[in-house]
Each structure stands twice: as C-alpha cells, then as structure tokens.
Chain A
Amino acid sequence: MPRYRLRVNEGVLSVEADADKPLLYVLRGLGLTATKFGCGLGQCGACTIVVDGTAVQSCQMTVADVQDKAVTTLEGLGTAAKPHPLQAAFIAHQVPQCGYCTSGMIMSAAALLEKNGKPSEGEIRSALELNLCRCGSHTRVVSAVMAASGQRG
C-alpha cells in the first residue's frame, strides 16, 4: 500500500492506505472519530473537515487528495480548556440534540469565519446549506455562529 504524509490538527503523520480509500475512513481509523459518516455520497455534511481553510466533505476525498495539505478536524479546533469560539458558542447555545451533525456544522462554520469574520445570517445559512440536521437544531446553529463572530445571535 502506498504511504502518505498527512498534516492533521498540526501533527504530522505518515499513513499507509489504498489510494481510493476515502479520507473519512482514514481519519476515523486514526481515532479522530468526531468526523462522522452520514451518507458517503457528499450529500449531508456530517463528515465535513477543513482542508487548507476550505470546508470539504471527507467522504468525497482520498488521502492522496490531502497530501501535504493542512487538515483540521473538530478535535483540532479546540479543547475543553481552550475551545474555539464556535465550540464555546455551540456549548453556550446548547446547540446539539443528538449532535451527530454538530462536528460538520462547526467545521463548515469555521471555514466560513476564516474567510468572513462577520457573516450575515443569510451568509451563515448559505454556508451551511449542505449540512443536514435531523433533530432540528438549525436555529440554534445560526445563533451560535452569529455569537461566535461577535454578533448578537
């Protein structure tokens, strides 16, 4: 199997994987299980991660696609002691119900805030349009992203 050099959450690792193995399975195999399998079709956003500042669906990429690029998963965004502003806002707004979509939501929003520090509510909704939630946490997601960007949410 070919070997790939990955930059994940500011660590550098070398992984062996089949060339067509979706990145999602590679990450989860590394114990980075915050990134979730939802459909494997690029339709739901549960597996969203950030690669070089852009939100991507990790089920639609292979490990070869991200060689030498900076990969960030929810685990790399922040910690309990030092949460990312989005994580803090999602906690403060008690956003998740089941929470299965939450990782993807936060990662999509993180990529948005990197590019646009004060997005409008419409811009937040657009950025999250590909992220599905079945429990109906949407309004809290929007409020939390507004709050994380220093706006009234």
Chain B
Amino acid sequence: MSASLDQARFSRRAILKGGALTVGFALTVTPGTALAQSVAGVARRTDNTQVDAYLTVNADGTVTVYCGKVDLGQGLRIAIPQIAAEELGIGVDRIKYFEGDTALTPNQGRTAGSTGIQRGGMQIRQAAATARKGLVDLAAQRLNLKPDELTAADGEVRPKAGGAGIAFAALLEGRKFDLKLDPNAPLKDPRSYTIVGKPLPRPDVAAKCLGTATYIHDLTLPDMLHARVIRPPAIGATLVSVDEDSIKDLAGVKVVRIKDFLAVVADDEWTSVRAARSLRAQWSEASNLPDQSRLTQSLREASGAAAETLVAKGAPPSPAPQDAKALTASYFWPMQSHASLGPSCAVADVSADQATIWTASQGMHDNRVTYARFLGLPLEKVRLIYLEGSGCYGMNGHEDAAADAAILSRAVGRPVRVQWSRADELGWDPKGPPQLLDLAGSVDAEGKILDWRTEMWIPQTTKGLLNIPLLGPQAAGLDNIVGLNTGLISQNGDPPYEAAHMQVVVHWLKETPLRPAPLRSPGKPANCFAVESFMDELAAAARLDPVAFRLRGLKNTRGIELVKRVAAMMKWEPRPSPGPNVGAATALGRGISYIHYKHSETLVAMGMEVAVEQASGRIKVERVSCAHDCGQIINPDGVRSQVEGSILQTISRVLMEEVKFDRARVTSVDWAGYPILRFSDVPKIEIELVDRPSEPPLGAGEAACAAVGAALANAVFDATGLRLRTVPFTPERVKAAQSGKA
C-alpha cells in the first residue's frame, strides 16, 4: 500500500514531531517512544531510597518528576505532579513528568491495589519534602540565615521576611541532591496547600480527545514486524503439526514455531491477521476444565484445600436469646474478564544480549525480572518502557503480549509488535477467580449481631509470586513462573460492625479453572457483596431498617458519617425491606451497603435505586448515591472520575458478566458472549466526596467497586422480595428466583 498524497499522515507527524506532547497546560508528559529516543543511553540513579531517583532540578527552572507507578487513565499524571509541586514549592506548570521506565524511574512496585497515591505518591511527597529541606539548608548557608527564616515557593528559596530568593537550580549548581529519603523531613501543613486539593485537568486528556495520544497500539519502530500468536483451540493442548503450505499464497509471512508456541510474522498487520486465520495447525485434544454447571460444588469439594482462620473474636451468647433470628446463606461470584476494550498489544526489540520492551502493563520492575528470566538475560540488559494501552484493571493480557513480542523479536531478529484479537483477549486474559462464600449468623430483636461466621472457598496466591505464569514462555518451554496470583482476595470477609462473636475461615484452593489474576478491587466486590447482603438478610429477619441496623453496629465515625450522608442523599425512609412495591409489574426498591476497604483504607457508603421488570426479569439501576472518604483528596475531579468508573464497571460485572467455558476452552470470546454495560444501562450517579485534608490520602480506584454488588442486591430484594446471591443478576436468574429456584 502506498499513499501518493498523504496529507493526513503528514499532519499527524507534525503533531508528534516535537516528541513530548504538550497538552492542557504546560505540564508535559513524555510518552515512551519519544522518551526512549531522547534519553537512550542516559544512566539515571533509580535507587528508590534516593531523592535523585524521583526528582531532578533542571537548569531552565523546571523540575522533572520520575514516577515508578504508571497512569492507566486514573490520573496519576496530574495527581503526582500536584503532590510534588506542592511539597517542593514550585508551580505545577513547571513540573515535567516521566513514568514507568525501568531505566529511568525508581521501582515503586506495581501500580496495583489502589496504591498509586497512598504509597507511590507518598514516597514522592517524602522525596520532595527531603529535597525542599536540602534546598532550604543550601540557601541558609548562602544567605547567612537560619533555615526557619526561609521558605520555598515558586521554584526558589526566599527569606520569609522578604528580599531576593535563590532559584532551586542556582542553589544546586548542576549537582544532584545526593540525599536519602528522610522520613522525618517536615511536610507542609495541609492548611497551606494551594495545589493539592485542586481539580486540575489531567494532562493526557486533551491528546486523547484530539487523536494525538500515542498508545502502545500506535507505536511503530523502524524495521518493525507485525505478529499474531495462534493459541491452541483447547487449554493445555500441544502442537502436533503445522501446515505452512496453507498460507503459501500470502507473501512474506514467516511462521515461528517454538515447541507449542505458534505465531505468524509479517511486514503488514493485516497480512499477519490473514495468515493467523488461514494457517492450518493440528493440536492435541485437551479437556482440562471442570463442568461449569457444577462449579460451586466442585469448589466446595476441592481436595487438598487448607483451612485458615482469619478472624476469631468473642463468643456467641449461650444460650442464644429466644428472640434471636439465625440465618445461613451462600453467595457466589463468578470468574470475570478484565474485558479491556482494546486487546492487549506490545512491542519488543530483543537481540542476543539486550531487550527493550514497550508495554502497557501495570508492573514494570517486577515484569523486568520475569522477562529477564525467560529471555536468559541479565536484569540490567532488559529495559521495560510503559506506554499507555487500553484500560487495564489489574492484569489483563498486557504481560502476555509483551512476552509474546519478546519471544518473537528474538526469534526473527527485528522489532516485533504483537496485537491480540478480541477472542484472544476475552479467552486468554487472566481472569478474576471464582469466589464462594457461606455466611451464618444471628441477630436479636434490637439488632445486635450475636454471631457472625464467614466461610470462603477461594484460590490461594502462591507465596512470593511476583507475576503470573505467562502463556508465551509456557508454550515455548522457556523458564516460567509457576503458581497462582489472585491479589488479596480474602480481605473484608468480616463485617465492619460489632458482633458478639465473629469468625472468618478461608478454605484455600490450590487450583482454579482458569488462570487467575488480580481484577480491580481483588476479591472485595465478592466479599462485600456477601457480607453486606447478609447484613440485609439479618435486618429483614429482625424486621429492622437496613440503615438503622448498620448504624447500630458501626463504630467508625467516618463510616457513620458516610452512611448517614447516603441515607440523606436518597431521602431514605426508615422501614424494613422488602418495601411496598413487591408484586408491582415494575417493582422499585432501594438498597444500601458500606465498606471500610481492607478495614484500614478508603470508606464508602453506597445506595442504589432499582426498577425490576417482573415479566422480563430485567433489572435497571436508576440511581446511585455514593459517599466516599479517601482521606486527603489530591485531585477531586480525578477521584470523582475513578469513583464513577468503579461504580459503572462494577454494575456491569454484577448485572452481566460471567466467563463461560466448556471442558476445553473459554466460550465467551466476543462482546455478544461477554456483554458489558451499555449507555441504556447507565444510571444517574450522585457522588459526595468527603475531603479530610489532615488525614493521609488513600486510594480511590477500587473501594467503591466493592460496595456495588450488595447495594444492588439489597435494592432488588427491597423491590421484589427476591434475594439474589449469585452474580451476575441476569434476567434468567431473576426469573429463576421468582420461581423459587435461585
């Protein structure tokens, strides 16, 4: 293909020519491509205990911030500069920002668990505070004043009493800070903040709306080839034979086969797609998956599951009061896909002695260890560079695609771009694992919880596992990690309310049907769904109002405020559930839930109002009310955006999503088989953010997800008297519940 007059391309190149994208305002974010070219070969100190790893003062009066956590659209690219600029004493428009490059940025751990701000951001705040103290000390010597007579502002240190200051760059005179992060470096008083707490725009947004953003999918390198990996038709099948003649009419296609790893590589992407579709290969038969219709039984009966008591507090009253109501219930959350809108993609340039891998993965430094291992290269010869991809919510196929690209680049001796298909992404991305929970408890007539027992059946994360087993290395017989990684999925199995006796037992499963990985708010959507649904079941049994029942057992004052706020937002009328609508053709109901994330982080109360169409079984969420307390808010619009996303994505998971499989393979491999939320399903959302400037900032990307399932289930119960305990709440499930089969 050639273009004789290629205006469109030229105009795009002109936009990209400058390298760094300057968007929104002067804060610049440099995407991985330009970065690799502009600083290739520049050695940087990336020791994460050193200020220099995070901050560089430039001669032009700007400061560069290096962040090991990456921005997937959640807003770190503005929130981290806000934190750094505020603490250092410089305008945010004079911050330059680099993210996620193992050669340039410090190892701050995976961008996971909603820790970007609360851990990553706080390291950078401490680095900036240490740097400011160092700069003030330098200025004190130069100006012959005491440090406490000086202040850092607008990129200089100046006397508080007035008079000329000295710019940061002039104080350092080209030297590095050479300071260790000082945990005692004084932090600014939040009451003096002028940058933190402001809803500054995210710097990547404009480019995303103008079409000038460079995603991993858009990266091209000189001499780059396009590849498609062909996965087996059955999980665990081995490659018997390949008929290369089947694609002989496609010019320039190379077939790469390494043991059971099969791929086609071509100059042109479409040719690689055609080749992947046409290539005939024979695979062995395999049927390694369990019967999905018996999944909950097989989890419960799994052999070799070790039981562990996570919580054991108090004792149930003996004998139990006569008016006590005792209940048991089982809840199930299915396997779900990250269902990223764009299939995973990566580019790698690997030679015999070094590797550069561009990836949208949330883990840079730990993936580097994994990739160095299967490539057989020393760690320092492997460089990972982050480039944003289609949104990821834990660990989708990005890691695998990058491994595919690395294997293929090494095999063909040229840079290779691997793009997965839609079926690859929904079929082969690592899945959120299944979770089965049994609840038992009792409550007295006043609403005192006498007894609470949670028993869960969930796969156990293998100790010390940095990553997940990767498809490419596994198929190619390369050194690969073995084990399961699910994230911390046993948290929040106990209610955040007082109970005379509380016990949480987990049965740790050694296997799970499909390769698991952490999926947004790992485990907590299921656990909170069970715990907060069961709270409502107890309230209903005792004929108590669900809000009043929660407030009776809730002692956390921040939590109490949130529950009360949501009740006010919903104009909640105290009464037991179900409500007066039961039996209506379209039954309306309301429900509430609450979580204190991991019992130590963000607090969320959520209310839902639903309409249940009895004839069809269809649930429509009409309105969501959310009160959210993540401590000190760095950027309120960023938090709001994350909370909106958490709510909508989890409504989708609760109403629609379940990975389907037969004995050989995942069968829900397109958007018809794995539907997600559409515009017609989107409710009105009202969010109240509680800002607590004097408290530590906490994550905002996960906690709200956890509260969705129970609020929705409780609203359905309030509307219809039907208790849904199995996700997703499809119309078929509602109909089954109507006929007493759920």
Contacts and interface: CB of A to CB of B under 8 A. Distances in A.
Is B truly associated with A? yes
B209 A106 contact: yes
A95 to B, nearest CB: 7
A125 B679 contact: yes
B5 A87 contact: no
Given A37-B217, A41-B422, A138-B677, A94 B3 contact: no
B742 interface: no
B685 A25 contact: no
A136 B648 contact: yes
Contacts of A74: 210-211
B204 interface: yes
A100 B7 contact: no
A97 B206 contact: no
Contact of B421 (A11, A40, A98): A40
A129 B679 contact: yes
A112 B78 CA distance: 32
A134 B339 contact: yes
Given A137-B645, A139-B644, A139-B685, A13 B74 contact: no
B297 to A, nearest CB: 32
What is the size category of the interface that chain A forms with chain B?
Answer: 35 or more
Contact of B422 (A11, A25, A38, A138): A38
Contacts of A28: 218, 269
Contacts of A1: 1
Nearest to B78: A94
A33 B392 CA distance: 20
Contacts of A134: 339-341, 390-391, 393, 649, 676
A21 B274 CA distance: 10
A25 B269 contact: yes
Contact of A91 (B209, B646, B671, B677): B209
Interface centre among A13, A15, A33, A102 (most CB of B within 10 A): A33
Interface residues of B, number: 72
Contact of B680 (A39, A106, A129): A129
A124 B682 CA distance: 12
Interface in B665-708: 670-672, 676-680, 682, 684-685
B97 to A, nearest CB: 17
Determine the main DSSP class of A at the interface with B: loop
B637 A12 contact: no
Contacts of A100: 215, 340-342, 389-391
Contact of B641 (A73, A97, A124): A97
Given A15-B2, A29-B1, A138-B679, A98 B72 contact: yes
Given A76-B8, A90-B209, A125-B682, A135 B73 contact: yes
Given A39-B670, A128-B679, A83 B210 contact: yes
Interface string A68-102: 00000111111110010001001100111111111
Contacts of B672: 43
B742 to A, nearest CB: 28
B388 interface: yes
Given A11-B7, A13-B3, A37 B343 contact: yes
A36 to B, nearest CB: 6
Contact of A96 (B209, B393, B422, B646): B209
B205 A94 contact: yes
Interface in B364-397: 388-393
B202 A13 contact: no
Interface string B206-230: 1011111111011000000000000
Contacts of A96: 73, 204-205, 208-209
Contacts of A13: 3-8
Contacts of A99: 73, 204-205, 208-209, 213, 388
B649 A94 contact: no
A8 B684 CA distance: 38
B191 interface: no
Contact of B649 (A8, A38, A136): A136
Contacts of B679: 124-126, 128-129, 131, 138, 141-142
**What 3 A-B pairs come out closest when comparing CB atoms?**
A34-B211, A136-B648, A98-B391
Interface of A: 1, 8-18, 21-22, 25-26, 28-34, 36-41, 43-44, 46, 73-80, 83, 87, 90-91, 94-103, 106, 124-126, 128-129, 131-142
Given A17-B1, A97-B74, A135-B73, 9 more contacts: A10-B7, A13-B4, A14-B3, A28-B218, A28-B269, A77-B211, A91-B24, A102-B208, A128-B679
